[in-house]
Structure 1
Amino acid sequence: MQFLDKAKELDKNPLLKKLILFLVITLLLYLGLDIVLHHQQIGLTFTSASNTILGNEEEFLDPILFDVLLEHVHANILSSMITLLLLTTIYIRLKAESKQRLIHLSFSTAILSQVILLLTTTLPLLINIWIVVFLLWHLSAFILGFIIIGKLLK
C-alpha cells in the first residue's frame, strides 16, 4: 500500500499510474457486483426486501434470522470501509482541492445503510429508506471512482 503515498508522483511513473487505475477499476467492479449481490440476497425493491427481511406468510417465506442479518451487516461494514478508504485515499492524493462533501457523503451513507438495514427488522417502513441510502452510497463511491479515473487518464 506504499504506492498510495507516491500517488503525487504519477507523472514520473506510468506503471504506478496503471496500477492505481486497475485498482480503481477493480473497486468499481466490486461496487457493481455488490449491488447485484444485494439484489439477489435481500432485494432492492420494497416487496422483495420486505419478503426477505420480514418473511411472507402467504408465500410461506420465513424471515431472515437476525444473526444471519447481523453477520451480513458485519461483513458489509468491513468491505465498504476498505473500499471507501482506498477510493478516498487515492482521490485525496490526486485531487488536492478535493470535495470533502462527497467523501463525507460516501462514508456516512455507507454506515447509515447498515444501521438502517438492522433497524428494518423492527421498523418495516425503513426498507425503502434503506434501499435509497444503499444505492446513494454506491452512487457516491462510483462518482469518486470515475473522478479518479478521469484524473488518471489525463
Structure 2
Amino acid sequence: MRFFVIKDIRKHASMRYLLTFLLSLMMLSLVSHLLLYGWKYGWNPESVLATIMGNEELFIEPLPFEEILLQVHTNLFFIVIVLSIIAASFIRLYEKRNKYIHLLFITALFSQMFFLAIPLWGLGGVFAWAICEVFWHLVAFYMAAKTVWGLNFS
C-alpha cells in the first residue's frame, strides 16, 4: 500500500506497473468468482434454488444453514480484501467519484444478505441475490478497469 504516500502515482513507473498487475489480477478474480458461483450453485434461478433448498424429485439434498453461513463469511472476507484494494487505488486517481465506492460496498453487502435470505424468500431471494451479485462485480470490474486505464493511458 505504498501508493498511499506517493503524490502522483502516474509518474512512478514501478508503482504504475505494480498497480496495473494487481488490478488486472483483481479483475480476473472477479470474473472467476462469478464463474465459480455459476458452477457451484447453477446458471439459472431454479437450479440455484434447487441447490440451496434441495429437491426431493431430483434427489438433491438441501445445503445446511451452517454451510451457507460459512460461504457468506468467506465471501465477506473476499469482498473486504478485493474491494479495499480496488477502492484505495480508484480514489487516488478519481477523488470526486466516491459514489461508486459507496455503491460498490453497499451492493456487495446486500448481495450477501440476500444470499442468507434465499432459504426464507425462495425464488425472490435468488433473483435479489443474483442481481446484487452481478451488479457489484460489474461495478468493481469497471472501477478496476478505469483505474488501469487512468494509470497507463491518460
TM-score class, shorter:
over 0.9
Q: Distance in 1 between the 2:85 and 2:57 partners?
A: 44
Change in 2 beyond 3 A, CA 1:120/1:86:
same
User: 1:118 aligns to what?
Assistant: 116
Matched, 1:103 2:105: no
Change in 2 beyond 3 A, CA 1:64/1:73:
same
1:39-118 superposed matches below 5 A: 39-97=38-96, 99-118=97-116
Instruction: Supply the AA of the counterpart residue of 2:65.
Output: F
Q: Distance in 2 between the 1:65 and 1:131 partners?
A: 20
Instruction: Supply the AA of the counterpart residue of 1:126.
Output: G
In the TM superposition, what is the alpha-carbon distance from 1:96 to its structure 2 partner?
2.5
Unmatched tracts of structure 1, length 5 or more: none
Unmatched tracts of structure 2, length 5 or more: none
Secondary structure of residue in 2 paired with 1:8: coil
Cα RMSD after superposing both structures: 1.2
Instruction: Supply the AA of the counterpart residue of 1:119.
Output: A
* Structure 1 range deviating more: 120-129 or 106-115: 120-129
In the TM superposition, what is the alpha-carbon distance from 1:132 to its structure 2 partner?
0.6
* Structure 1 range deviating more: 39-48 or 141-150: 39-48
Change in 2 beyond 3 A, CA 1:138/1:47:
same
Contact between 2:72 and 2:112, CA under 8 Å: does it hold in 1? yes
Q: Distance in 2 between the 1:17 and 1:113 partners?
A: 32
In the TM superposition, what is the alpha-carbon distance from 1:16 to its structure 2 partner?
1.1
Secondary structure of residue in 2 paired with 1:121: helix
Secondary structure of residue in 2 paired with 1:88: helix
Q: Distance in 1 between the 2:148 and 2:11 partners?
A: 17
Secondary structure of residue in 1 paired with 2:147: helix
Q: Distance in 1 between the 2:137 and 2:7 partners?
A: 26
In the TM superposition, what is the alpha-carbon distance from 1:105 to its structure 2 partner?
1.1
Post-superposition Cα deviations, 1:34-77, rounded to whole Å, max 9, x if no partner, equal: 00111111224201111111111110101111101100100000
**Number of positions where the alignment pairs a residue of Structure 1 with one of Structure 2:** 152
Q: Distance in 1 between the 2:35 and 2:7 partners?
A: 34
Q: Report the TM-score, using the length of structure 2 for normalisation.
A: 0.93
Change in 2 beyond 3 A, CA 1:7/1:126:
farther
